[in-house]
Every structure is written in structure tokens, then in C-alpha cells.
Amino acid sequence: MRVTLQSTGNAAAPEVWERYMEPTAWKTWAPQIMGVEYRGERLTADSTGRVLGPLGLPIDFRVHAVDEHSWTWAWSAWFQNQAIGVDLTHGVVSRPSGTRAWLTIDGPLPLVLPYVPVAKFALGKLCAQ
């Protein structure tokens, strides 16, 4: 299943992009994230880490691409040694009154469908000032 979500807000696009690029900041705008284990201060392509999800559930991830010029990045997240997971692509677009952030989620319906409202809420917080 593939779903694309978007949200707009009054935060400036460079600020929203930086919220994506700093994994330690993810838990400030994504309530489903309890913490992030990552070896750098800023996302880079071909890097790995772990998100601590609800109830401390570990979710491993790999960042595939980061494009600072177009403000897009892509990664995969999975449970249980890659047994089940999703691919996610994110983008930030500057608007005259703030930002539009979008997210495409691609994966099995039982993972994607329940994640849609959570992701939509997080995108709203990401774009808020």
C-alpha cells in the first residue's frame, strides 16, 4: 500500500528541514517516537539507527538518501530483523506563509493504514511554529 500525506504550517521551511535532519529532535514533533539512537547529530545517506517507538518498541532504520538542495530524504524502517517494514520519503516545500511537508509511506497495509493518522498528526506538529 502506498499513501502520500501532507500538512502545512507557519514554521519556516529551513526550520522544518532542520527538524527532520536532527534525529534527536524527532520526539519533539512526532509523539509516536520516544527516542532515537543515531551516531550523528545530522542525518546522512547510507546511515543507520534505531527509533524507540510506543512502549519502547525498537524500530531499526536505514537512511537511503538525503538531498539538502531539494529538501527531500528517504529511509526504510523495520521490525524484527527486517521481517516487516515500510519505506518512507519526506519532503519540505517553502510557501509564502510557511511550509508544506509531505510524506509517502509504502509498505504492507497492516502497517501503513494504522500509521496514517499518527503520521498526519506528526506532520502537523512538524510544520507548526
DSSP state, residue 80: T
DSSP letter at 10 equals S
pTM of the model: 0.93
Q: For residue 29, how far is the Cα from the chain centroid?
A: 10
Please tell me the distance from the alpha carbon of residue 110 to that of residue 54, in angstroms, as a whole number: 17
User: Looking at this protein, which amino acid is placed at residue 4?
Assistant: T
Q: Which residue has the cell 527486517?
A: 82
**Over the stretch 61-105, which tens digit does the pLDDT of each residue have?**
999 999 999 999 999 999 876 678 999 999 999 999 999 999 999
Which pLDDT tens digit goes with each residue over 30-70? 999 999 999 999 999 999 999 998 878 899 999 999 999 99
